[in-house]
Chains A and B, each alone.
Chain A
Amino acid sequence: MRVRLIGIGVCYVLLLLFSIFVIAGAKKRAFGHRFIRSDTDVVHGELYEMCKINRFREDIALMKGDATGKIEDADIITIGDSFFGSALASRKFAAELEAVSGRPVYHVENTGKFNSSQVDMPLAYLESISCKRGPNRVLVLESVERYAAQRAKSCQKSWNDVHSWKSDNGYYKERILDTKDIEYFFSNNILSGTANKFLQNVRFDLLGIVNLPVVYHSEVSDMLFYQEEVEFNRSSKGEETIKETADNIACLARKLRDRYNISLVYVILPQKYSLYSARFGDPYDGFIPRLVTEMRKRNVAAVDMYSVYSAQMKLHPDRPLYFGSDTHYNREGKLLLVREIMREITEQNHKRLTNGI
């Protein structure tokens, strides 16, 4: 009995020490960083980071270099989500667009100044920086397809709405109450993180199970997908949703033109799963082409990247457009988008801007 109690005591003390280590590592960043391996200029794909399965690990260089334009003198302004913020194996979208167009491009980063997402509320953002009506400019507004309808609803919100929306979320969890950092530190430190990684790989090797929210299909073995993308692909998007979204975007385009003399080019980027879903017996419901058609009916300049990428994939099936371990496009996918944006700008005859391009 005595031996048993000593054993229990030792186990408990070890457990207690480990608990203290995890909590301290999570809450005291300077301490925690010592126990986490991290690269500053190479990443391995966000989906890989979620599931930690070695087979999908890629080394993707993080590229430096932003667009150099300023908001006051930029011909093209870009607002978008993580696709526009992505610098995986190529510079950010705005920098590539600036290089190709030869015109000053200003990219609106998600900074602390504006506490909501600019891509959700571009009008509110322009209000918040006291943007003035000036010579004609182009706003390239991008959204990944699964958020397009939702963002179209909020995109016309004014600064006052945002201000009150901000106080809507009147409470902020103090850092001490947040437990996500504990989860992160546990999964990534050199002790339990290593054990966790080993476990994930054993689960995958034995059972083929990959941790949600990552979805893995053995039919395309080099690719991981994001569960939200899969769910979006499978959900039904009725004509009403499509028309309402198109109406909202058209309204935004009118307001931008009337208030700021800004021409809108709207881009909906396909999710990786939308491009590959047919291989798993999940047909794509044509959300992007349908929405783009509706937007064009309302005279909104819109780019159908689903059709562009699909055509490219048929032409070069061996050249991927997205990273296998990430949800974002690779360099080739990004450059195709740049090309299409330039074509759209030209076609829409934004005279002041496109003269000489």
Chain B
Amino acid sequence: MAFNSIAYFAFLPLVYAFFVVTPAKVRWMPLLVFSFYFYMTFSASLAFFLLFAILLNYFIALLIGNNRRPYQRLLLLWSGIVLNISLIVLSRYPVILHALLPTKGLLLSIGVSYYVFQAISYLIDIYLEIEEPERHFGYFALYMAFFPKLLQGPIERAGDLLPQLKVKYEFDYDTMRSGMLMFAWGLFKKVVVADRLALFVNIVYGDVHAYAGLPLVLATWFYAFQIYFDFSGYTDMALGTARMFNIRLTQNFNSPYLATSVADFWRRWHISFSRWILDYIFKPLQMRWRDWRTFGTALALVVTFLVSGIWHGASWGFVAWGLLHGIYLAASVYYKPLQKKIHKALGLEKTRLLNIWQTMVTFQLVCFAWIFFRANSLSDALYVVRHLFDGLNGVRPVLFAHGATELAVALAVLAVMLTVRCITAMPGSDDLPFKWPSGVRWSLYCVLVLSLCLFYVDSGRGFIYFQF
């Protein structure tokens, strides 16, 4: 039951009705029940993983919280972390599970790593006494399983989400309206933009050996936008749904392709995940290797992003993608002082020209890494890399494969997204549609709904990040 499915639209009003009519003290119940139901529509067996993770972390957190002996607390923390990570490994690498258990069920690791990452951060926060352990099992279970963020995040910190789950719900017109609009906008990003771009990307990446040169470049650029609109569309829908229940989740994207460096890109892309790996992998490693100074930082970056690549799945492509980002960042550690000197010498410091140049270079670096992320295998990715500059032919069949109308619509929606980005980047544009006169606002709503109806692509595809 993906966010862009009819079933989700049918269930959401029903869940809301149960939520509203339930007494305030037990309002977590309908949300928790539906969260499990929502998850089980993807994989019934994985619900046991979720339940296990909830029980495990609930009790370990209580044990850590109640224990005053540092050694035992540390032991509990590490056993919690190891057990949590083993959940990811078992779901992501089912071969191990098959070896341990007699069942050979096909297991999809939908959402596991997101709630496991959230659980690990919770345990660490309890250990560091940043947070108190949650004693109410219902609220804790809902914190772990809350359906809008269950499958693809955002990875929420306990301090941000748990208190909101306990606040008494009161209907607020503005919040509901902004939630619905956010959801509709996310849906537009997914079904009109991302799925349309996928039509072109899949032709080329489905059979890369049939193409060379410009079609490969175009497909990679299109993929960069596809994955962004796919993932940020999902996030908007997640945030929008949560907002309908008066819950604010963390923003996960901030115009990542306008980043002026790869480090800046990671501050804008999948923000909750970037923060997580920065706090829980990079910083401890950097501390451990601090005696090695710059080399230690560079190595910590490479290892952190290598882990990030491996986290994405059992594929050499993901490993290469993570390693590339690690190398980009490690290189920038060494290059940055020199870069500053060059910019100063050329008189380019803080100029708009430099900004544009850096944005373009960063975008190309990120796109280059996406090749390894998208290609069906490492050999396919290497083929793409070797043939990126092999001429300009073969573009027309790709672009017109689905007809001129599809191409025109694809270009038009990209133009719309760019325009929206420009408008929202202007100062004072927060909550912009709601500041406009109601006539303009309602016209916009109608255009949005009409565009969804007319231009959606019924691809039947899930979200790209579901698999992680």
Q: What is A's interface to B at a CB cutoff of 8 Å?
A: 4-5, 8, 12, 15-16, 19-20, 22-23, 164, 167-171, 173-174, 177-179, 182-183, 186-187, 199, 202-203, 206-209, 211-213, 215, 217-218, 231, 234-236, 281
Complex interface: chain A residues within 8 A of B459 (CB): 212
Q: Is the CB of A182 within 8 A of B104?
A: no
- Of all chain B residues, the one with the shortest Cβ separation from A170 is B105
B432 within 8 A of A: no
Instruction: Tell me which residues across on chain B come within 8 A of A16, comparing CB atoms.
Output: 13-14, 17
Q: How far is the CA of A90 from the CA of B346 in the complex (A)?
A: 79
B337: chain A residues within 8 A (beta carbon): none
Binds A, one of B161-169, B201-209, B284-292: B201-209
Closest residue to B12 on the A side, CB-wise? A19
Task: For residue A172, give the distance in angstroms from its CB to the closest CB of chain B.
Answer: 8
Contact B460–A164 (Cβ < 8 Å): no
Q: Which 6 A-B pairs have the closest CB atoms?
A: A179-B7, A170-B105, A182-B7, A211-B458, A186-B6, A19-B13
A173 and B108 alpha carbons, distance in the complex (Å): 14
Q: Chain B, 154-187, contact with A by CB distance < 8 Å: what is the 0/1 string?
A: 0000000000000000000100100000000000
Q: Which of A177, A187, A215 contacts B44 (CB 8 A)?
A: A177
Query: CA separation between A177 and B37, bound complex, in Å?
Result: 7
On B, residues with C-beta under 8 Å from A are: 1, 5-7, 9-14, 17, 37, 40-41, 43-45, 103-106, 173, 176, 203, 206-207, 209-210, 397, 402-403, 405-406, 409, 453-455, 457-460
Q: Quote the shortest CB–CB distance from B245 to chain A (angstroms).
A: 14
A174 touches B44 (CB 8 A): yes
Q: Mind listing 10 A-B residue pairs with CB under 8 Å? A: A164-B104, A167-B104, A169-B106, A170-B105, A171-B44, A173-B41, A174-B44, A183-B6, A217-B403, A218-B403
Residues from chain B with a CB closer than 8 A to the CB of A22 are 6, 10
A238 closest partner in B (C-beta): B209
The answer to whether B207 touches A234, judged by C-beta atoms less than 8 angstroms apart, is: yes
With contact pairs A23-B14, A211-B458, A212-B457 given, residues A236 and B210 touching in the complex (Cβ less than 8 Å):
yes
CB distance from B431 to the nearest CB of A (A): 18
Q: Is the CB–CB distance between A236 and B14 below 8 Å? A: no
Report the Cα distance A170→B7, complex, angstroms. Answer: 25
Q: Which of A12, A170, A209 has the most CB of B within 10 A?
A: A209
Whether A168 contacts B104 by the Cβ 8 Å rule is yes
**B11 contacts A203, C-beta separation under 8 Å:** no
- Report the bound CA distance from A234 to B44 in whole Å: 36
Which residues of chain A are within 8 angstroms of B13 by Cβ–Cβ distance? 12, 15-16, 19
| Residue contact A213 to B206, C-beta cutoff 8 Å | no
A202 to B454 Cα, complex, angstroms: 8
A207 with B14: CB separation less than 8 A: no
Residue among B37, B207, B405 making CB contact with A207, cutoff 8 Å: B405
A171-B43, A234-B207 known; 17 new pairs, CB 8 Å cut-off, are A8-B173, A12-B13, A15-B13, A19-B11, A164-B104, A170-B45, A170-B104, A173-B44, A179-B1, A179-B5, A182-B7, A187-B6, A203-B454, A218-B403, A234-B206, A236-B207, A281-B397
Query: Which chain B positions have C-beta within 8 A of A209?
Result: 405-406, 409, 455
Q: How far is the CA of A183 from the CA of B406 in the complex (A)?
A: 25
A187 to B7, CA, bound (A): 11
- Which secondary structure dominates chain B's binding surface? helix
A302 to B249, CA, bound (A): 60
- Quick check: A20 and B14 within 8 Å, CB to CB? yes
Q: Least Cβ distance of B218 to chain A in Å?
A: 17
For residue A15, give the distance in angstroms from its CB to the closest CB of chain B.
5
A283 to chain B, nearest CB (A): 11
Q: How far is the CA of A5 from the CA of B455 in the complex (A)?
A: 32
Which of the residues A23, A215, A281 comes within 8 Å of B10, measured between beta carbons? A23
Residue of B6, B405, B455 with most partner-chain A CB within 10 A:
B6
Within the complex, what minimum Cβ distance (angstroms) separates B15 from chain A? 10
A178–B460 Cα distance when bound, in Å, is 15
Residue of B nearest to A184 (CB): B6
Does A183 contact B7, Cβ atoms closer than 8 Å? yes
In the complex, which of the residues A5, A170, A202 contacts B103, with contact meaning CB atoms closer than 8 Å?
A170
A residues in contact with B210, CB < 8 Å: 234, 236
Task: State A173–B405 Cα separation when bound (angstroms).
Answer: 39
Please, which residues of chain A bring their CB within 8 A of the CB of B14? 16, 19-20, 23
CA distance A289 to B397 in the complex (A): 26
State the Cβ distance, B21 to closest chain A Cβ, in Å: 11
- Chain B residues with Cβ below 8 Å from A202 are 454
- The answer on a CB contact under 8 Å between A168 and B457 is no
Known: A164-B104, A170-B103, A183-B6. A208 touches B41 (CB 8 A): no
What A residues does B6 contact at CB under 8 A? Answer: 22, 182-183, 186-187
Query: CB-CB < 8 A to A20: which residues of B?
Result: 14
Selected contact of A171 from candidates B105, B405, B460, CB within 8 Å: B105
* CB of B342, distance to nearest CB on chain A (Å): 46
CA distance A206 to B453 in the complex (A): 12
Chain B residues whose CB sits within 8 angstroms of the CB of A236 once the complex forms: 207, 209-210
Query: How far is the CB of B92 from the nearest CB of chain A, in Å?
Result: 18
> A178 CA to B45 CA in the complex, in Å?
14
Q: Contact at B104–A208, with CB atoms within 8 Å?
A: no
Cα A212 to Cα B202 in complex, Å, equals 14
Across-interface contacts of A173 in B (CB, < 8 A): 41, 44
> Which residue from chain A places its CB closest to the CB of B45 in the assembled complex?
A171
Bound-state Cα–Cα, A187 to B6, Å:
9
